[in-house]
Structure 1
């Protein structure tokens, strides 16, 4: 069903950058400089908490991916969206966002995992199992490349209304399937593209 991923990044910056590649002090400094009162930077309002949550989530995703047969070649993932995010597409110019489309065909089952929705959101929902929001079919779960089309067939495509209740403070992070890329090498060919 899906043939590509979309990697979103700030215009003027290099794509495929990650806070996880930095020391804690470097990451905290960047988050503090990025924080603004807008839906995309709100997550950096409490940078220490965000960094701790991110590390915990990435460890969980990595461990679950390995348990499903994944073979991460890198210590941390780079992020993209399966297909595209309607919300982000509608706000590209408002938030100075650029994008790169990457064919799914450059990855193998061993390279990439998926969560529905954003990994931090699904991890939180899977841990809390809040009666109103928790969906056991997909919250708190990792999906492989072969499983992701089944997931998309069950819950629709990005241009359709996603079946996740909007949680206050989670903004656009709940209306897409997130891809975690554990083999960064295939992305090198896309560094100079837009």
Structure 2
């Protein structure tokens, strides 16, 4: 079955810009600038956001490798499995790129049931918390729980609003950077 992966971004800045790829000082500075602007989703993040994000990304990478993943990047790019209109609210001028899932090798993408950040940190004992999934595994999770985009449109049923895809390779996304 073909699914499409979606990448939401600020139109004026372009797609696949990644704070994690920057030196920590530069990433923290940009994160601080976004917080001070106050009118974008990123402005709500804590001062420790970048340090916590890097820890969680390393945990995700280790879990992905343990499942047979072969990440080429130290830090992932982020996409969603299927559309999530709510993510457009994160940006002043939202834009989106869609890429068929078949363009990515099984070894280059991992999944979380929900955004990586709350999935790895939220303490409610749901079975899909703190889990990184392969493509095959996430399809089984979807069969059991459905798409969060369908059952949690307003975010009132927990932090899971979409299925996140972590892209661990520049090969495919590089074609879409402009």
Aligned mates of 2:165, 2:44 — CA distance in 1? 19
1:96 is matched with 93
Superposed, 1:13-28 pairs within 5 Å as 13-28=13-28
1:106 is matched with 103
Superposed, 1:155-174 pairs within 5 Å as 155-162=145-152, 166=157, 174=160
Aligned mates of 2:76, 2:22 — CA distance in 1? 13
Maintained 8 Å contact 1:118/1:176: yes
Higher percent of residues as helix: 2
TM-score by length of 2: 0.88
Maintained 8 Å contact 2:115/2:160: yes
Matched, 1:33 2:19: no
Provide structure 2 residue ranges, at least 5 long, that are not aligned to the other structure.
none
Maintained 8 Å contact 1:116/1:122: yes
Aligned mates of 1:88, 1:177 — CA distance in 2? 12
Query: Which 4+ stretches in 1 moved above 3 angstroms?
Result: 36-39, 162-167
2:128 is matched with 138
Maintained 8 Å contact 1:109/1:145: yes
Matched, 1:178 2:169: no
2:142 is matched with 152
State the number of aligned residues.
176
TM-score by length of 1: 0.81
Q: CA deviation at 1:38?
A: 4.6
Q: CA deviation at 1:82?
A: 0.8
SS of structure 2 residue aligned to 1:110: helix
Superposed, 1:111-122 pairs within 5 Å as 111-122=108-119
Provide structure 1 residue ranges, at least 5 long, that are not aligned to the other structure.
168-172
Q: CA deviation at 1:43?
A: 4.0
Aligned mates of 1:80, 1:176 — CA distance in 2? 10
